[in-house]
């Protein structure tokens, strides 16, 4: 298996706060050969939802196998910010309109809205309490000149997508519990909610185990071959022979598993800092009391939310996330830790003395099309991929996993999903230099946005 990043990005320890709040059931290692109708590689939201969809469509759960290199939720699904929101793309709406036309752009938007409902349905159907909060999401202008962009976005949301949004003037931010010297106004969009990603993941694993789906942990797929009209996937403890194959490995994909993936994905680091519980006095001193999930208008995005107090805790913690960094080695992560803390202090100066005991990072996944892909893998019969949610895969990963399940079951034609999601991701030019391009893009954004 070849990865784009150095081994530190794939180390077993995650050290996230979420691990202290929920422990997904562990899957046993695969220790013998077996057969399956469908073999899914990757035990995150995509893989689990794909498996659950197949089982719910009547497929024999014992013939649905999931292989997870570590344990379910070790990847991005167990370490993300918990923003269950529209997303899955970095392609601006104007470009979607120009390339795909209005009807497909609107269809794609509706699919993103449906993805939020997919998660809501999962929470209800499987009885998962994942600490939901927030009425939609709030986007905050990091400089005065961004207000015009927020106004244009409001107009577009209303006229193109029929979604009413609310602009908040700078002078009204404190009244909304969003006081910070960093911001100049905001746009409130009534879509999505926030959740504890590990509790959600643990609930999906419980549902999959309960349905009888055969999950195997600490079982990396190390080779994928075609043999006698079936897929033959090797692992250290045994081989699985399967009719259909699903690649659900997103930012933790290998470059060569299958070889088709080579040079097609760009995993990108996202980093999270988490405060200790804040007191009522500290919240009042900053004037940030809203539990809206929020993000700023930068390309090098900051995302943050005050989370409801966990069981037995005295107050809410602030989760503060930030994209950036092109290496996960110790020195670079230590520098990123200092940087994210400096940004936290700038956004919330009254909390300069507040400890932030948790810091962790993980890989999100981009591709050249700037839109996620769910569908067949060209040149590989009965093989499917669903990946590249561009940093917003809580909702889209869950939903697209379901779509992949329906495609495999013959219940949904691949061409029936919005055209924007159907474009097979091409290879990056000179893929060996992907991290170099990324570093250059980051430098440009930093220069532009600070």
Q: Report the interface residues with ligand FAD, using CB under 6 A.
A: 1, 41-47, 67-70, 74-77, 79-83, 87, 220-221, 248-254, 257, 270, 272, 321, 361-364, 387, 389, 391-395, 397
Is the CB of 76 or the CB of 147 nearer to ligand FAD? 76
C-alpha 15/C-alpha 18 separation (Å) is 8
**Shortest distance, position 198 Cβ to ligand FAD, whole Å:** 11
Is the CB of 219 or the CB of 350 nearer to ligand FAD? 219
C-alpha 69/C-alpha 379 separation (Å) is 25
C-alpha 385/C-alpha 178 separation (Å) is 40
3-state secondary structure of 176: helix
Burial 270-287 (b: 16+ CB within 10 A, else e): bbbbbbbbbeeebbeebb
Residue 249 near residue 41 (C-beta atoms within 8 A) = yes
The CA radius of gyration of the chain, in Å to the nearest whole number, is: 21
Is the CB of 257 or the CB of 350 nearer to ligand FAD? 257
Is the CB of 50 or the CB of 350 nearer to ligand FAD? 50
C-alpha 340/C-alpha 299 separation (Å) is 15
Q: For 330-427, where are the E strands, in sequence order?
A: 358-367, 373-376, 383-387
* Cβ atoms < 10 Å from Cβ of 382: 17
Is the CB of 43 or the CB of 316 nearer to ligand FAD? 43
**Shortest distance, position 174 Cβ to ligand FAD, whole Å:** 25
**Shortest distance, position 197 Cβ to ligand FAD, whole Å:** 7
* HSE toward the beta carbon, residue 441, CA cutoff 13 A: 15
**Shortest distance, position 353 Cβ to ligand FAD, whole Å:** 25
**Shortest distance, position 219 Cβ to ligand FAD, whole Å:** 7
Residue owning tokens 């600070």: 450
Residue in the shown chain whose Cβ atom is closest to ligand FAD = 393
**Shortest distance, position 84 Cβ to ligand FAD, whole Å:** 6
Is the CB of 81 or the CB of 316 nearer to ligand FAD? 81
3-state secondary structure of 124: helix
Is the CB of 141 or the CB of 394 nearer to ligand FAD? 394
How far CA 46 is from CA of 72, 119, 229, 402, in Å, comes to 11, 12, 25, 8
**Shortest distance, position 149 Cβ to ligand FAD, whole Å:** 21
């Amino acid at each position: 298996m070849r990865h784009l990043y150095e081994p530190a990005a794939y180390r077993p320890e995650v050290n996230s706060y979420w691990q202290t709040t929920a422990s997904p059931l562990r899957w046993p290692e695969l220790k013998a050969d077996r057969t399956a109708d469908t073999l899914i590689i990757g035990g995150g939201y995509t893989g689990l939802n794909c498996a659950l969809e197949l089982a719910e469509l009547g497929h024999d759960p014992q013939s649905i196998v999931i292989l997870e290199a570590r344990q379910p939720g070790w990847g991005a699904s167990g370490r993300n910010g918990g923003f269950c929101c529209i997303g899955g793309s970095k392609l601006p709406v104007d470009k979607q309109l120009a390339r795909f036309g209005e009807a497909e752009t609107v269809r794609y938007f509706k699919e993103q809205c449906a993805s939020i409902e997919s998660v809501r349905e999962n929470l209800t159907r499987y009885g998962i309490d994942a600490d939901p909060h927030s009425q939609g999401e709030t986007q905050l202008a990091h400089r005065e000149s961004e207000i015009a962009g927020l106004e244009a976005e409001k107009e577009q949301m209303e006229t193109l997508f029929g979604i009413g949004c609310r602009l908040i003037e700078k002078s009204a931010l404190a009244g909304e519990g969003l006081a910070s010297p960093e911001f100049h106004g905001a746009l409130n969009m009534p879509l999505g909610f926030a959740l504890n990603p590990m509790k959600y993941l643990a609930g999906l694993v419980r549902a999959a185990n309960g349905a009888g789906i055969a999950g195997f942990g600490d079982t990396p797929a190390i080779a994928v071959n075609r043999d006698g009209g079936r897929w033959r996937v090797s692992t250290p403890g045994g081989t699985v022979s399967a009719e259909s194959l699903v690649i659900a490995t997103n930012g933790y994909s290998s470059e060569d598993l299958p070889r088709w993936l080579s040079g097609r994905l760009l995993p990108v680091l996202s980093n999270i800092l988490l405060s200790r519980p804040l007191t009522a006095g500290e919240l009042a001193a900053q004037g940030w009391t809203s539990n809206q999930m929020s993000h700023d208008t930068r390309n090098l995005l900051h995302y943050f939310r005050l989370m409801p107090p966990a069981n037995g805790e005295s107050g809410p913690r602030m989760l503060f996330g930030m994209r950036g960094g092109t290496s996960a080695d110790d020195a670079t992560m230590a520098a990123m830790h200092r940087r994210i803390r400096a940004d936290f202090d700038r956004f919330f100066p009254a909390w300069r003395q507040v400890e932030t005991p948790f810091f962790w990072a993980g890989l999100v996944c981009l591709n050249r099309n700037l839109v996620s892909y769910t569908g067949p893998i060209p040149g590989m019969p009965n093989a499917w991929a669903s990946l590249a949610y561009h940093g917003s895969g809580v909702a889209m990963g869950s939903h697209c996993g379901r779509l992949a399940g329906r495609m495999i079951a013959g219940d949904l034609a691949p061409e029936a999903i919005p055209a924007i999601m159907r474009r097979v991701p091409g290879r990056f030019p000179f893929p060996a230099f992907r991290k170099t391009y990324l570093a250059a893009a980051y430098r440009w954004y930093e220069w532009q946005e600070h």
